[in-house]
Chain A
Amino acid sequence: MSGILWIELIVGIISSFSLLGLLLWAVKGGQFDDSKKQMNGLLFDSTEDLQDAIKKDKKIKELKAKKQKNNLD
């Protein structure tokens, strides 16, 4: 019984600290600099905004690749 509780405790602590780590990573990246915007995002963001975010990521990758190629040339 005690062994199971120990395992539960360890798993619980590892998973909760991992989530906390994710939050700290997001904070460090500047995601929480604007708390009001985060809240508005939760309330209003639609699938269209998600698609935009994907498109934006793709665009950034392309631009970075292009830049690197130019630098190499």
Chain B
Amino acid sequence: MSNNIECTHCNLSFPKEVMIEEENDLYFCCKGCQGVYHLLKDDGLDSFYDKKGNEKLSAPLAVDEDASNFDLDSFRQVYIKTTPDGFSSIDLVIEGIHCSACIWLNEKILNDEEGILEANINFSNHKAKIVWDEDTIKLSHIIERIRAIGYNAYPYKTGVKNDANISKKRDYFSKLSVAIFASMNIMMIDVGKYTGYLTSMSDDYKFMISIAELIFATPVLFYSGLVFFKGAYFGLKNKIINMDFLVSFGAVLTYIYSLYVLYSGHGHSYFDSVAMIITFVLVGKYLEVIGKKNANDTIDTIKSSIPYEATRIIENEKEIVSVDQIQIGDLIEVKNGQKACVDGKLVSSYASFDQSSISGESIDVVKHKGDIIYSSTINTSDVIVYEATTTYANSTFNSIIELLENSLNTKPKIQDITNELSKNFSLMILMLSLATFIGWYIYNGDFENALIVAISVIVIACPCALALATPIASLIGISWMSQKGLLLKDAKLIEMFNEIDTIVLDKTGTITNAKLEVVNVSNKDLTKEQLNILYTLADSSTHLVSMAVKNYLIKNYDNLEFVILENITQIAGVGIDAKYNNHTIYGGKSQDISSKYTSFEFKIDNKTIVKFDLQDTIKDDAQELVKFFNEQNVDVIICSGDNEEVVKDVANTLNIQNYKANMKPQDKYDFIVKLKEEGKKVAMVGDGVNDTLALSKADISISMASGSDISINVSDVIILNNSLKSLINSFYISKRTYKFIKQNLFISLIYNLITIPIAMAGYVVPLFAALSMSLSSLLVVGNSFRIKKDIK
């Protein structure tokens, strides 16, 4: 490691020998970095390196795609908007941004271009808004500039929702700014007032101070507090006394009373309380708005990875159309490096696809004629043609995005109960407050005192903490799950996970890798040259078998080197042919079909050198999965369509007592129904079309993202990285989240039980009631953040 040296452009370290060296101690890890460095230097943009400091970048993105697509009419119609001044505007997501220097560089290079009016990149979500004059510069040129400096840009559609989110955030930010500004000024006066320094002041000065407080408190109540009035109005319209009603009712009452005091000159005004009540509760609301906006930004970023147009073939004529125009049955051409826009069936005889956007697996998947192609997966083979089997709206990737949107907008069942509880609770508090007012008024006949105590009761008992208890914990739980590669369709499932007592697992693809591994080798004494030829040959194909052999060689032999092979030919479904120094080389299917294994034969001049037997393997974390469920007292059952012998073998290896073999889709469905009739709460994990029926019947259906789109559609939970560890995590996180929801509810109820009697007894002024109420919300939020503490 000591010999490593940092790349002048990206700061990544590599051994000195592999670096491209230039004069003046310049070292580059690749041609991309070297190119970008010189481009920036030539354009006088080398202050980028001062701004960047030691921040490490990834190597520049090499994009071969033609940018001229950005100038097409089909693209224009979908993504380009016209500003009121007649300029063009587009929203992009910039890929490859690491730090503020990257933002600076992109903005600088774009703003220096003639014809660009605005190039504004958001630091948090890497979204860019570009406004340009089409008479002066083309969009394709703008994109090429971004690509030239090692970044890439994707367009995304900004919906009405996005604009609404931005304006809502601005609105709340303005309201909060006014509230904080006014509260801070009032607080300055309050310090003197509550510490007793103003007691000897004459009434004239006290009046002046009250007027100042009135001036500051008024915009807080009527501008910042508008959100609560609106909430209260909608609540009353639906005959609900909600939290907003309590906040606005308490604040308005205090304000009117203080006005009366100011006018009459008797008593004590509480404008400070008005401002504080609104400000503290508004902070919570603002955080909620920010959270929702961030969630939608994430969805926009995911959406930007979907291609926006496709090449459709009609009667041997190619045309570029928007993805929305693709119909079922259309033939679509996908070039190397392009993404499939909708799901479909492969028409070409052979293809390989990078499905990482769906499954998280970085290894290419080989497809043969008739195999399913998923939307948003990348073609890593030559030009292929496939037939669309879905429209864009129903494609797998779009379904995943919709699931994500739904899961962000649904509330768990426990939340419904809490909402109901807080509704009744609000009404009860209003009654208690009224009773307090009447009680105190009868007791000492002091209107002011009775009113202030009653207001304190309303403010202190505002069920903010109760209302926050479930959503904040669910939000943290769900975001934690998504970090762990889990997509939850519905937040209600957090609760359901806690009731599960039986888990039914499909075998292939769920507890096995559905990926081959070498189990037998006929000849281990290969010469160095033979090994290198075999290694090069296996490397030339992305077929699962070749990759398994290559991985075996890397694992078992050191110092493998590539040799020069000529005329490498892939014979789809058979193997690879090549020439090496006038020898004929072959690697592929064995002629011997009697073996129960998949085999790979390596021949030189038609003479078999070595034969590999390959087999599907059990996932590494399967053992851990079984152990986890045993500890949780959850019954584990394997339910597979495979034959008895294979399923038994897997069950024995994993020490699972219950297994069902030879199960057809209907049998699996009946089995789940039977378990449910026995009163069990069943979770089913599967990945194939054959599991779909059973998945639709289970209490919780969990599907691997590599599975069929139908199984994904019926599933409640999708495991994006296909790892069983994620399945363990889903149970672990749900249980932990649920525990914290219960804790939060307990905290908020206990808080109210303690504080309400104190407030009713007249020991709390409204200002401290507001402070104490915010503290209870903070307690619940703080407690929820502990959910992620014990991360596994």
Q: How many residues of chain B are within 8 Å of chain A by beta carbon?
A: 35
Within 8 A of A (CB), among B140-196: 166, 169-170, 173-174, 177-178, 181, 185
Contact of B204 among A2, A16, A64 (CB under 8 A): A2
Residue B205 interfacial (CB < 8 Å): yes
Contact of B174 among A28, A48, A56 (CB under 8 A): A28
Known pairs A24-B174, A63-B133 / 19 extra A-B pairs, C-beta < 8 Å: A2-B204, A5-B208, A6-B208, A13-B215, A20-B178, A24-B178, A27-B174, A30-B170, A33-B122, A36-B100, A37-B122, A44-B104, A48-B47, A52-B111, A56-B111, A59-B114, A63-B115, A67-B133, A71-B86
Contact A28 B170 (CB under 8 A): yes
Chain A, Cβ-Cβ closest to B112: A52
Interchain Cβ contacts under 8 Å between A and B, 8 examples: A2-B205, A32-B173, A33-B170, A40-B103, A44-B100, A48-B47, A52-B111, A67-B87
Contact of B117 among A16, A27, A35, A60 (CB under 8 A): A60
Taking CB atoms, residues of chain B closer than 8 Å to A60 are: 117-118
What is the interface of chain B mostly: helix, strand, loop, or mixed? Answer: helix
Taking CB atoms, residues of chain B closer than 8 Å to A13 are: 212, 215
Taking CB atoms, residues of chain B closer than 8 Å to A37 are: 100, 103, 122-123
Give A52 to B85 CA distance when docked, in angstroms. 23
Give A23 to B180 CA distance when docked, in angstroms. 13
Within 8 A of A (CB), among B646-667: none
Residue B2 interfacial (CB < 8 Å): no
In the assembled complex, the CB of B27 is this many whole angstroms from the nearest CB of chain A, namely: 26
Taking CB atoms, residues of chain B closer than 8 Å to A11 are: none
Give A64 to B83 CA distance when docked, in angstroms. 12
What is the interface of chain A mostly: helix, strand, loop, or mixed? Answer: helix
Q: How many residues of chain A are within 8 Å of chain B by beta carbon?
A: 31
In the assembled complex, the CB of B368 is this many whole angstroms from the nearest CB of chain A, namely: 48
Give A35 to B205 CA distance when docked, in angstroms. 40
Residue B444 interfacial (CB < 8 Å): no
With A48-B47, A59-B117 as contacts: A40 and B204 at CB distance below 8 Å: no
Within 8 A of B (CB), among A43-68: 44, 48, 52, 56, 59-60, 63-64, 66-67
Taking CB atoms, residues of chain A closer than 8 Å to B123 are: 34, 36-37, 40
Taking CB atoms, residues of chain B closer than 8 Å to A59 are: 114, 117
With A33-B166, A52-B111 as contacts: A9 and B174 at CB distance below 8 Å: no
The 7 lowest CB-CB distance pairs between A and B, nearest first, are A36-B123, A40-B100, A37-B123, A34-B122, A27-B174, A24-B174, A60-B117
Residue B582 interfacial (CB < 8 Å): no
Give A18 to B170 CA distance when docked, in angstroms. 19
Taking CB atoms, residues of chain A closer than 8 Å to B173 are: 27, 32
Taking CB atoms, residues of chain B closer than 8 Å to A52 are: 108, 111
Give A64 to B115 CA distance when docked, in angstroms. 10
In the assembled complex, the CB of B344 is this many whole angstroms from the nearest CB of chain A, namely: 39
Residue B124 interfacial (CB < 8 Å): yes
